Chain A
Amino acid sequence: MNLSASHPRWAPYFFIGPFVVVFAIFVVYPLFQSLVLSFQQTYGPQTSVFVGTKNFADLAGDPAFWTALRNTFVYAAASVLIQLPLSLGLAMLLNRPQVKGRAVFRLVYFSPALVGIVFIAVIFSLIFQETRGLLNVFLKGVIPGFPQEFPWLQVYVMPALVIASIWMYTGFNMIYFLAALQNVDRDQIEAAVMDGANRRQVFWHVTLPAIRPVAGFVILLSAIGSMQLFELPWILLGGAGPEDRGLTVVMYLFMNGFQIGDLGYASAIGWSLAILLMGMTWIQRRLTKGGEGR
């Protein structure tokens, strides 16, 4: 069959054309405009002043931005270091044929991901309410002398956020690991067992290297998702929380851009975050590549 006769040369351009046009209008152009905006102070398109790198310089000296960055990194690190091992553990558990009702457990663990993050935040605000919250009512019932009020969302801001995110995303990431585990070559595992490898050795030397690309992808996805944290603290804490302990980079961007109206500064925050994320992606790719090479 002569492919060039049945598919004219313009056919690929014809089919990708609509996407390219939409992508250029709604992604490339706004990206370029936001870059321009990050060098301006503006009050709408008619009123703007070029300020050079002032927005970025101000950002570097802005303590609230550094607080937001620190909080975001702490949350991202906690999410990756606590949530992903939990997801992997659950996946390994549910990957065992001996476990009865695996399909039900998979659904149960995955189901929080079906609920929107806004609902999760509302549910956890009811759990952590300082006087009549579910957690306090429970603890008062089981621990004699437990304080009448315990302000979880003031004292343990970051742990509360991490717990809520674990509840939401552990099951979601479990699905990725489960899919990866089901693709691990059974022959390799059996060969390792026959060679005398114990369970731990099988995990470290056979299973983990086999799921490494998926694990790398999940780590990257979780890290990027964590860096974009906004709705959860915004609703759970009603803003940045006491002493800005729940302030995140995206929240700070929102506050500057849409509460104060300083779109130039907000764009500078957005670009700083984008550069950070690009750096993280580059590092992740380097690490994964290195692993694949071995």
Chain B
Amino acid sequence: MTVQTLALCCKAFLAVLLLAAGGAKLADLPGFAATVRLFAPRALGSRLPAAIAAGIAIGELALGAASLTSPQAGWLNVAVFAAGCGFAIVSVVGYVRHPGTPCRCFGALSRRAFSPAGIGRSMAVAACAAVAAWPAGQALAVVGAAGRLGLLAGGTLVAGGAYSAAAALGAGRDPLAGRA
């Protein structure tokens, strides 16, 4: 496997990951807002963290969709790398300040908490994003209009599937454990 192919694999993987994470978060915004509130100053109240949570979920969806369907746009790779670094920082701070608290990184799809393993996963994501930003990979990332449309349809399916799965899991769990 060449470096270019590896970079494309990382890019596609991260784009799909962002779509799934964004879709799942969107299905459990109150839950994710509770996680955001762990990091927000109390003075912000409860509405702003909820808005931030919605912004993060929608931002992930938009970034994932754009990165998946516009593989030649190099700046998107940088944006994904920045997001990956952001996730890594949040997981480190989350582990230091709130160990064991659910991070809700994938909404109700996952019950993983801030932990050393979580830090490792987010570091791996950041490393993956660094590889995806490798400029040589863009030469092979040529996709026509039909291909981009197909990718967008596939990405919508993944985001919709993640949303539905997270909503179904949340519906079965929420009255019992809102903090799941």
Whether A associates with B in a native complex is no
Q: Which B positions have Cβ atoms within 8 angstroms of A?
A: none
